[in-house]
Amino acid sequence: MQTSKNCENKTDEELVDLTLKDKDYFACIISRYEEKLLRYIKRITNMSNEESEDILQETFIKAYYNLNSFDLDLKFSSWIYRITHNQTINAHRKNKARPQGNSVDIEDHVLENIIQDFDFVEEIDSKYLAKDIKKILDKLDEKYKEILILRFFEEKDYKEISDILKKPMGTVATLINRAKKQFKDEYQKIN
């Protein structure tokens, strides 16, 4: 098993190459992405911790078995987020009635990103806004919720979002604008 010391200074692509030669390096990829992907799964669904961890496990299994087909033109993070996205959507379809319980966690830097990008929330107390954001995100159409989470919570750029969702960058920009409009409409309903 590789230690984190062996992984720290390596790029994702180097780790993929090393994993193809020595499967123990996959532990480095898991270590690097486990928390991020679990947080992403929980943000775009309301699934329990156990269900989210099951999706994460399936994601890593699928990523490992498909590592040979990783497209070097993509960023590895986009590729593994795409697998996570697909696994999450598949699990969601199997569980049509989503249990409530997990809500979106909003860190301070995410709140700042939203405040800076959404011109209508500048003068609101941030603690109050964090509660509102959680409520609003749960009310948004799934496609809008997910794209806002990718942009503001996961801090993905338009190109990465395009790769993850397999949509052209122009469509990504349109979806983000529509999501922000729907977010603003929902925000105004509660205030």
Options 1.10.150.170, 3.40.50.720, 3.40.50.970, 1.20.140.160; CATH of 108-190: 1.20.140.160
Mean pLDDT split into 10-residue runs, the chain, 191 residues: 70 92 94 95 86 94 94 87 92 62 52 54 54 81 90 90 93 93 85 68
Please check whether residue 184 is in contact with residue 166, taking contact to mean a CB–CB distance below 8 angstroms. Answer: no
pLDDT reported for residue 185: 87
Would you list the domain boundaries of the chain?
4-94, 108-190
Alpha-carbon separation of residue 86 from 42, 45, 130, 172 (angstroms): 14, 13, 28, 17
* 25: DSSP letter: G
CATH class of 4-94: mainly alpha
Cβ contacts of residue 189 below 8 Å, gap of 6+?
A: none
pLDDT reported for residue 120: 46
CA-to-CA distance for 106 and 152, rounded, in angstroms?
10
pLDDT reported for residue 189: 84
CA diameter of the chain = 57
pLDDT reported for residue 99: 43
CA-to-CA distance for 26 and 20, rounded, in angstroms?
9
Alpha-carbon separation of residue 116 from 113, 120, 173 (angstroms): 5, 9, 17
Query: What stretches of the chain show up as alpha helix (H) in DSSP?
Result: 4-7, 12-21, 26-44, 49-65, 76-94, 108-117, 126-139, 142-148, 158-165, 169-190
pLDDT reported for residue 173: 94
CA-to-CA distance for 107 and 153, rounded, in angstroms?
8
* 141: DSSP letter: -
CA-to-CA distance for 59 and 149, rounded, in angstroms?
19
| pTM (predicted TM-score) | 0.75
